């Protein structure tokens, strides 16, 4: 049975698990960013009923008898944040992550996903897009959250990422040949157009909300094959066409400019990483509606692991990591002035879960304003995920996904590293 929140102050929620949920909650906001990109509002009152926002009024309205009350009059209130690129089942990297793949059961991965989901939620990210999960653990968590059986962020899940054999999403890379059948069940590899149609259908049949395709090599893939395109045009086109047939969006992992050009010509919905550019890529991207998801936070994960253990990565991977650290942010600096649409995404899993807010500082350091970074993490990310009717702004009829921070996030994005209040779908999340 859900709890009544009689009152909530920052850092301390009064929650009585044995009580019946209050149907109405009144929130007093000291400053309200209800529509990122537009002028903030001053003191405001938000009324929440049954998990939805029902009204917003200027000033501090009186609360109805029996309504729960949340006092955020000393804080800036804004929509729940959205991370468009996470991997919830783990944040172990390098050789430790490789070992996990053959030692953790799907059940253990599901518990990891739930714990990492809660870290993410407590960090103020009430919605995520999970872009890679071989064993279906995140499918199960997504469904449990949707059914009210578990707490976590709202999840849009891709199932397994698709690539050709020996491509970035070939989970068997780095293991003995006889272990390859062990990794075949998720259907993540495909060779030839017909097989790639099969692979996309398989993920949709498993329950994928979005299709993830790794069109180029990857920094963490255990093969010395570079970062250029690793799928033929007909293979990539078959994945996109199949996804469209089933009404699914397509996210594309790409580092090399040749792979990004392939993806842009296919009209995919987002390009993740996008580390290398060409003049042709820049010109086409500027005219397209394809979002760029920068995932700058990966460098934090790499630096921290290497500081703790210089041998955390094998040599082929380490060389790519050093390159990635040096080049990170250059694409964002180039694309922002060209008007390319940006959606917030961290690649958490490579970086640590719960540290998603670190991405804001990197986005601002590489050419974005605090306001445009917030738009990327709310309105733009909601559009990319196909959830604009539910999240991204604080408005009547939308999900009561609401956070609060101290200070002014339009001047100092470091405040996102210490979110003071989180409400997800009308439920206050205990932050301790």
Number of domains, the chain: 2
Q: What are phi and psi of 308, to 5 degrees?
A: -80, -30
Q: What are phi and psi of 277, to 5 degrees?
A: -130, 160
Which residue, 44, 9, 178, 78, is CA-closest to 407?
78
First to last CA, the chain: 21
* Helix/strand/coil for 287: helix
Cα gap 332→36, rounded to integer Å = 20
pLDDT on residue 1: 28
- Burial of 330 per CB tally in 10 Å (0-12, 13-18, 19+): middle
- Residue 177 neighbours by CB under 8 Å, 6+ apart: none
In this prediction the pTM is 0.93
Residues 57 and 115 in one domain: no
pLDDT on residue 17: 33
Question: What is the span of the domain harbouring residue 287?
Answer: 81-385
Residues 65 and 85 in one domain: no
Residues 147 and 18 in one domain: no
Cα gap 122→3, rounded to integer Å = 18
Residues 281 and 132 in one domain: yes
Q: Cα 138–144–149 angle (5° rounding)?
A: 145
- Residue 339 neighbours by CB under 8 Å, 6+ apart: 286
The two three-digit tokens of residue 384, written as one number: 């990319």
Is residue 184 within 8 Å of residue 165, measured between CB atoms? no
DSSP class of residue 66?
T
pLDDT on residue 12: 36
pLDDT on residue 432: 81
Residue ranges of the chain whose pLDDT lies below 50: 1-21
Residues 102 and 180 in one domain: yes
Residues 150 and 253 in one domain: yes
- Burial of 251 per CB tally in 10 Å (0-12, 13-18, 19+): buried
Cα gap 277→328, rounded to integer Å = 12
Cα gap 372→378, rounded to integer Å = 10
User: What's the farthest any 2 CA atoms get from each other in the chain?
Assistant: 68
Residues 315 and 413 in one domain: no
Residues 230 and 288 in one domain: yes
pLDDT on residue 258: 98
Which residue, 71, 155, 159, 70, is CA-closest to 121?
155
Residues 110 and 132 in one domain: yes
Which residue, 380, 376, 382, 367, is CA-closest to 328?
367
Boundary (domain end) residue, out of 365, 385, 405: 385
Residues 137 and 180 in one domain: yes
CATH number for the domain harbouring residue 369: 3.20.20.140
pLDDT on residue 7: 46
């Amino acid at each position: 049975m859900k709890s009544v929140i009689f009152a909530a102050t920052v850092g301390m929620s009064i929650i009585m698990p044995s009580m019946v949920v209050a149907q109405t909650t009144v929130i007093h906001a000291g400053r309200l960013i209800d529509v990122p990109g537009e002028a903030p509002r001053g003191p405001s009152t938000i009324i929440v009923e049954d998990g939805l926002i029902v009204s917003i009024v200027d000033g501090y309205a009186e609360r109805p008898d029996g309504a729960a009350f949340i006092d955020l009059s000393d804080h800036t209130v804004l929509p729940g944040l959205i991370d468009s690129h996470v991997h919830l089942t783990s944040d172990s990297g390098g050789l430790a992550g490789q070992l996990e793949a053959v030692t953790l059961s799907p059940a253990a991965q599901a518990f990891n996903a739930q714990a990492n989901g809660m870290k993410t939620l407590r960090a103020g990210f009430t919605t995520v897009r999970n872009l890679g999960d071989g064993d279906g653990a995140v499918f199960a968590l997504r469904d449990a959250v949707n059914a009210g059986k578990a707490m976590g962020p709202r999840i849009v899940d891709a199932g397994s990422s698709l690539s050709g054999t020996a491509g970035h999403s070939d989970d068997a890379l780095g293991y003995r040949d006889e272990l390859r059948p062990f990794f075949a069940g998720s259907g993540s590899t495909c060779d030839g157009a017909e097989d790639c149609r099969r692979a996309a259908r398989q993920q949709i049949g498993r329950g994928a909300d979005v299709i993830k395709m790794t069109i180029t090599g990857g920094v963490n893939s255990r093969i010395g094959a570079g970062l250029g395109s690793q799928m033929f045009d007909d293979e990539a086109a078959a994945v996109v066409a199949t996804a469209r047939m089933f009404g699914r969006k397509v996210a594309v992992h790409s580092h090399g400019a040749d792979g990004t050009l392939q993806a842009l010509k296919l009209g995919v919905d987002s390009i993740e990483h996008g580390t290398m550019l060409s003049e042709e890529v820049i010109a086409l991207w500027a005219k397209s509606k394809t979002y760029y998801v920068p995932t700058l936070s990966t460098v934090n994960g790499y630096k921290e692991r290497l500081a703790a253990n210089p041998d955390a990565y094998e040599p082929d991977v380490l060389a790519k990591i050093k390159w990635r650290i040096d080049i990170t942010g250059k694409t964002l600096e180039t694309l922002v002035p060209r008007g390319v649409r940006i959606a917030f995404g961290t690649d958490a899993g490579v970086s640590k879960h719960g540290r998603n807010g670190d991405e804001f500082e990197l986005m601002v350091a590489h050419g974005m304003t605090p306001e445009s970074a917030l738009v990327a993490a709310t309105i733009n990310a909601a559009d990319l995920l196909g959830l604009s009717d539910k999240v991204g702004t604080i408005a009547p009829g939308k999900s009561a996904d609401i956070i609060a921070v101290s200070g002014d996030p339009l001047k100092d994005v470091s405040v996102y590293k210490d979110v003071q209040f989180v409400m997800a779908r009308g439920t206050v999340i205990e932050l301790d």
